[in-house]
Amino acid sequence: MAIKDEIKKVVKKAADKIDEAVEQAAKEANVITPKMAKIPEGPLEKKWTNYKDHQKLVNPANKRRLDIIVVGTGLAGASAAATLAELGFNVLNFCIQDSPRRAHSIAAQGGINAAKNYQNDGDSVYRLYYDTIKGGDYRAREANVYRLAEVSNNIIDQCVAQGVPFAREYGGLLDNRSFGGAQVSRTFYAKGQTGQQLLLGAYSALSRQIGKGKVKMYNRHEMLDIVMIKDENGEERARGIIARNLVTGRIERFFGHAVVVASGGYGNTFFLSTNAMASNGSAAMQMYRHGAYFANPCYAQIHPTCIPKHGDFQSKLTLMSESLRNDGRIWVPKKLEDAKRLQAGEIKGRDIPEEDRDYYLERRYPAFGNLVPRDVASRAAKERCDKGYGVNNTGLAVFLDFSDAIQRLGKDVVAQKYGNLFQMYEKIVDENPYENPMMIFPAIHYTMGGIWVDYELQTSVKGLFCIGEANFSDHGANRLGASALMQGLADGYFVLPYTIQNYLSDQIGVPRMSTDLPEFAEAEKRVQEKIDRLMKIQGKRSVDSIHKELGLIMWDFVGMGRTAESLKTAIEKIDAIKKEFWTNVYIPGEAASLNNELEKALRLADFIEIGRLMAIDALNREESCGGHFREEYQTEEGEALRQDDKFSYVACWKYTGEDSEPELIKEPLDYEFTERKTRNYKA
Amino acid sequence: MWLKDSSVGRKFVMAISGTALVLFLLFHGCMNLALVFSEEAYNTICRLLGANWYAVLGSMLIALLVLVHFCYGIYLTILNRRARGNDRYAVSGKKEGVTWESENMLVLGLVVFFFLVLHLYNFWFKMQFAELTGIHTGAFDPQDGAAYVNALFTTPVCGQIYCVLYLIWFCVLWLHLNHGVGSAMTSMGLNNETWQPRVKVISTVVATLVILPFTIVVLYYFGMGIGALL
Amino acid sequence: MDGYINIKVRVWRQAGPKAQGHFETYELKNIFQGASFLEMIDILNEQLIAEHKAPIAFDHDCREGICGMCSMYVNGHPHGPDSAITTCQLHMRKFHDGETITVEPWRSRAFPVIKDLMVDRLAYDKIMQAGGFVSVNTGGVPDANAIPIPKPKADEAMDAASCIGCGACAAACKNGSAMLFVAAKVSQLALLPQGKIEAKQRAKNMLAKMDELGFGNCTNTGACAAECPKQVSLAHIARLNREFLAAKFSD
């Protein structure tokens, strides 16, 4: 017996040594191992349970002594802030808008996925997991996605308990609709306002905690830097933020034992996107500059159903919910001459007879038809328009037609389902979609890439967490419709409030720190210097004019179809824009007051960096996957061609300095549990 | 006290006092209608409602209701003007479905009140008041209401002017009630999606029912007066 | 068909909360009628920046009519003369060539001006904090389908819940009352079994907060519902009154 134990001990020692050596070697080779990513042991469906069973917790008395900063009040931020406060932590919550309820999660229209299987159509946690992994073109982490699918059901329960008015059937039970990339109906919705209703649910939970004094809310505050303080081992930890009060222009300091960033995506790099005007990537860039890896920046989602662009003065693009593809059919004319006449405004869509219409999605993808995932639908639209079949004056639009549905279901049913979307379309385009098919075109909508986080949603910086769209974790190279809401709320309600405790459990001895510490002063000084530098330029160009130029470059060279050459051109052009910005931007007014232009300039400075990073990443990734399409890598039929042997990894970019190129760190994606296939939506 | 301190409480007081006054007016109108059929019947009612304790009590209650409704109206307006802030809109557009009377309830109320004072002087002062105090201010027996009505509305020229003034009063009252009745129902919580248009109709019907008997009586005497002139 | 128009814009300029405000008139040429109203203001701001003048401060964010941030009183109407939309969805095709458009901030004591067209709507947040929620913590809730809710009720709750908290109701109300905003939330939650439990307390707390913050008294004119970009119905105000009175009488 004793010998057996002895042998076991030796073997274990040896195994540990090997592990250690592997980790060390991985570190030197710039590779992130599953252990570094803190992925729990065990079979896929047990990982999250295992984690929760063995993680460290913070007891209630100690929770009161810990402050957590949450930046952002979207689905992820608001739900996290509320839940952390409910648990007993002190929360400081920041948002740039005038109220937490305005965060851009509010604009999501279609719905939220969950594996409830209320429709008895064969849904399950595994199927939701599988659809998400497959929809993401096998570029997401298995363990994270499975956890997401697992907690999806809790989200629906939670929201219903909060009074979110989801759509119901006449029997009083919840209704579902179908979304792209799935063959089951698992999308819960609240009219065309699902995002708004879910956010209001989270906002109400947050409001309750603000009322109780557990959350201190800072409206109209923008984070401009993170404060890092070394612990007794000399390791840097995130300990606070520097924020600018957008009303007074004052720079303020805030301490927290941990910092959680939920600042959303960076789609506005393209200037024109479906994001809100104030959505920005600056918080992500601040994390990046402090050593958090930026993962897969090139994965940006182009949403197929947006209202086409109509002029240079345009400030944003409006999304029409993906749910429209449930009943709407997408087509362009079969004949080029019809397209030409449409472009010249001589005829309208309804004038083209049925036999001359090319329902190209149904033609190319018989199994999924109009409900193929977003990346596929967008590329197909681009392909048709590139060939000259576009249907509006710019030639950059396709039809989304409801005449079939109106005939089949009647105008009333269609109006009940999509009335508010139709009304929105009519207000913007001034054309009645009941009579003439809608025109749509793809637009930048969501960024799957973001700050790298481990299984605990902690970045590569200690004490700095990143949740929601701002992180990279769950959608791989392409996100399925109705999954963004799911991820935001999963992170905020059900994941971070657990995992952050694993970090905080050994921070209970750390006292609240004074914001007079030199680290805070230094961070504030850095921010102030950057602002002063911007204000001093006093050049000739407005912030928006430069941003629009950046956006055009991004769309033309880092957009739906990328090539090595276009990306190299993009990098050159972005460098030129950077120079132009830092020498020729004009910001009116004072820095120490409400100054919209200064806010925009600070954000644009970061968009320029993000744009460059996106191009670098896209250039590195010599394959096509999900939202990232390299024209050199496609099948004969024009489908995305992955290079699993070379690029099955998360590309993490590490900041190395203002003027040096970022360093690439890889997190290999070894698909242990799921077989990787070429995505096929044809049969 | 929530009836004074909360906005819905204040609305509720307005609604209750207003509704009670509407009920009183309906009764008053029916009583007046008697004049058209028989002056004798009318005078019988006048005698019933002379200086009896229940009539006096009723009068006092009504006076109290008017006072409460009036004071709350003024109080609400002051609060509401303050809530509006110091800067006013330079341009104010017509809002769909918003009636003129609903935005001018105080003005309408004040006009109604002004006429009420005149009306009290014309009748109550000479009838119930005279009966109670014994100070005879009118030409007729305080219990002979019909004679007072006749004198006021049929005396040439002056009577006709009174008729017109009273008719104007009824119009103003109609406007006040056309919003007031529905508003009171909403304030008491008696409204919903389905009933919204119905409440509007009810409001108009009640307003019309209230002024109808009064108008008939005045028109009747107006006709008599004109007939006598010719 | 959308064309190009020349317009004058008369805008309220106010340097700060305490500063004296005034109107300034700007000329704009060749504005495409397909542009949104806020895009027109963008163009005007670009023009001002080019002239090294202070751009107009205004609130806006999603620009698709849902965030509730934009808040302009255009030609005498909150969110402008079109119905059932927010300012960001108002398009220049609603205006004609040569027109002078007057743009003002929300004016209500509870919404003080911060700068130009930007107002402080913190009051609405405070009302929500007073009771605009169901007191449930995360986790430990029953299955979503455990309590069936009749579709008409769920639909009506949804209609109430569609309020975006923009403040147009209080801005349009001659009494500066926030009743429609409060009613929308109270009504939504009172209609659902989940919210029923706290319905009385909620009505009392939210209303008390509204009164405390200096909003006016509702006189049922209906201006709020007429101007509401989400067409929240006046019927919800009746429900709020009912809830509140029931709560008070049962005390």
Q: Which two tokens stand for residue A312?
A: 């240079």
Domain shared by A549 and A427, yes or no: no
The parent domain of residue A24 ranges over: 2-45
ipTM value: 0.97
Residues of A in contact with C42 (CB under 8 A): 313, 315, 544
Over 90: is that where the pLDDT of C2 sits? no
Number of domains forming the structure of chain A: 3
pLDDT of residue B87: 87
Residues of A in contact with C93 (CB under 8 A): 430
Residues of A marked as catalytic: 374
pLDDT mean over C191-215: 96
Q: Is residue A608 part of a domain?
A: yes
Average pLDDT, chain A: 95
Going by pLDDT thresholds of 50, 70 and 90, the confidence category of residue B229 is confident
Domain shared by A661 and A560, yes or no: yes
The 8-class DSSP code of residue C81 comes to S
Residues of C in contact with A427 (CB under 8 A): 82, 85, 89, 91
C126 Cα to chain B: minimum distance (Å): 17
Q: Is residue A226 part of a domain?
A: no
pLDDT mean over C16-22: 95
Quick: pLDDT tens for B24-67.
Answer: 999 999 999 999 899 999 999 888 887 788 999 999 999 999 99
Distance CA A84, CA A251 (A): 26
Asked if B91's CB is within 8 angstroms of C104's CB, the reply is yes
Quick: pLDDT tens for A461-494.
Answer: 999 999 999 999 899 999 999 999 999 999 999 9
CB-nearest to C151 from A98, A170, A596 is A170
C238 Cα to chain A: minimum distance (Å): 20
Q: Is residue A120 part of a domain?
A: no
Q: Which two tokens stand for residue A26?
A: 């991985």
Half-sphere exposure of residue C164: CA atoms within 13 angstroms, side-chain side: 32
Over 90: is that where the pLDDT of B230 sits? no
Asked if B189's CB is within 8 angstroms of C245's CB, the reply is yes
Residues 6+ away with beta carbon under 8 Å from A122 = A184
Would an 8 Å CB–CB cutoff place A152 in contact with chain C?
no
Domain shared by A441 and A564, yes or no: no
A661, burial (CB in 10 Å: exposed 0-12, middle 13-18, buried 19+) = exposed
CA angle C147, C150, C154 (to 5 degrees): 90
Distance CA B8, CA B12 (A): 6
Residues of chain A above pLDDT 70, percent: 100
Residues 6+ away with beta carbon under 8 Å from A49 = none
pLDDT of residue A191: 87
C245 Cα to chain A: minimum distance (Å): 23
Going by pLDDT thresholds of 50, 70 and 90, the confidence category of residue B86 is confident
Asked if B6's CB is within 8 angstroms of C235's CB, the reply is no
pLDDT of residue A181: 81
Extents of the domains making up chain C: 4-114, 121-250
Domain shared by A540 and A636, yes or no: yes
Considering the entire predicted model, what is its pTM?
0.96
Over 90: is that where the pLDDT of C102 sits? yes
| Number of residues written out for chain B | 230
Q: Which two tokens stand for residue C105?
A: 């901030």
Would an 8 Å CB–CB cutoff place A98 in contact with chain C?
yes
Question: Which residues sit opposite C5 in a β-bridge?
Answer: C31
Residues of chain C above pLDDT 70, percent: 100
pLDDT mean over A559-583: 97
pLDDT mean over A558-569: 96
Q: Is residue A462 part of a domain?
A: no
Residues 6+ away with beta carbon under 8 Å from A566 = A556, A557, A558
Where residue A537 sits, what CATH number does that domain have?
Answer: 1.20.58.100
Q: Which two tokens stand for residue A626?
A: 């999900």
Distance CA B30, CA B53 (A): 22
Say which residue, B49 or B71, is predicted with more confidence.
B71
Over 80: is that where the pLDDT of C207 sits? yes
Domain shared by A543 and A438, yes or no: no
Distance CA A438, CA A403 (A): 10
**Rg, chain C, Cα only:** 20
Distance CA C197, CA C189 (A): 9
In this structure, is the dihedral angle defined by the CA atoms of residues A72, A75, A76 and A81, taken in order, positive or negative?
Answer: positive
Distance CA A404, CA A423 (A): 19
Going by pLDDT thresholds of 50, 70 and 90, the confidence category of residue A1 is low
Q: What share of chain C is helix, strand, coil (3-state, %, to 5)?
A: 40, 15, 45
Quick: pLDDT tens for A379-423.
Answer: 999 999 999 999 999 899 999 999 999 999 999 999 988 888 898
CB-nearest to C109 from B82, B103, B196 is B82
Going by pLDDT thresholds of 50, 70 and 90, the confidence category of residue A655 is very high
Q: Is residue A661 part of a domain?
A: yes
Quick: pLDDT tens for C147-170.
Answer: 999 999 999 999 999 999 999 999
Over 90: is that where the pLDDT of A110 sits? no
Domain shared by A530 and A655, yes or no: yes
Domain end marker among A419, A445, A471: A445
Amino acid at B209: L
Residue of C nearest to A199 (CA): C67
A404-420 b/e with 16+ CB inside 10 Å = b?
Answer: ebbeeeeeeebeebbeb
Residues 6+ away with beta carbon under 8 Å from A380 = A360, A361, A364, A372
Going by pLDDT thresholds of 50, 70 and 90, the confidence category of residue C37 is very high
Asked if A542's CB is within 8 angstroms of C49's CB, the reply is yes
Q: Is residue A477 part of a domain?
A: no
Residues 6+ away with beta carbon under 8 Å from A274 = A107, A267, A303, A306, A316, A317, A318, A319, A443, A444, A445, C64
Homologous superfamily of C121-250: Alpha-helical ferredoxin (1.10.1060.10)
Right CATH number for C4-114 from 3.10.20.30, 3.30.720.120, 1.25.40.10, 3.90.1420.10?
Answer: 3.10.20.30
Going by pLDDT thresholds of 50, 70 and 90, the confidence category of residue A208 is very high
CB-nearest to A210 from C89, C129, C135 is C129
Where residue A430 sits, what CATH number does that domain have?
Answer: 3.90.700.10
Do A and C have ≥3 inter-chain CB pairs under 8 A? yes
Out of A53-67, A221-235, A301-315, least confident range: A301-315
Q: List, as ranges, residues 473-502 from A with C-beta within 8 Å of C.
A: 493-494, 497
Ordered by where they begin, the domains of chain B are 2-85+96-229 (1.20.1300.10)
DSSP B35-95: HHH-HHHHHHHHHHTSS-HHHHHHHHHHHHHHHHHHHHHHHHHHHHHHHH-SPPPS--PPP
C248 Cα to chain A: minimum distance (Å): 23
Q: Is residue A252 part of a domain?
A: no
A174 Cα to chain C: minimum distance (Å): 7
Task: Look at residue A38 and give its three-state secondary structure.
Answer: coil
Distances (CA, A) of A91 to A149, A464, A502, A516, B45: 28, 15, 17, 20, 74
Average pLDDT, chain B: 93
Amino acid at B229: L
Q: Is residue A262 part of a domain?
A: no
Question: Is-contact C61 A278, C-beta < 8 A?
Answer: yes
Residues of A in contact with C65 (CB under 8 A): 424
Domain shared by A537 and A419, yes or no: no
Interface with A, mutate which of C64, C197, C206 (most A CBs under 10 A): C64
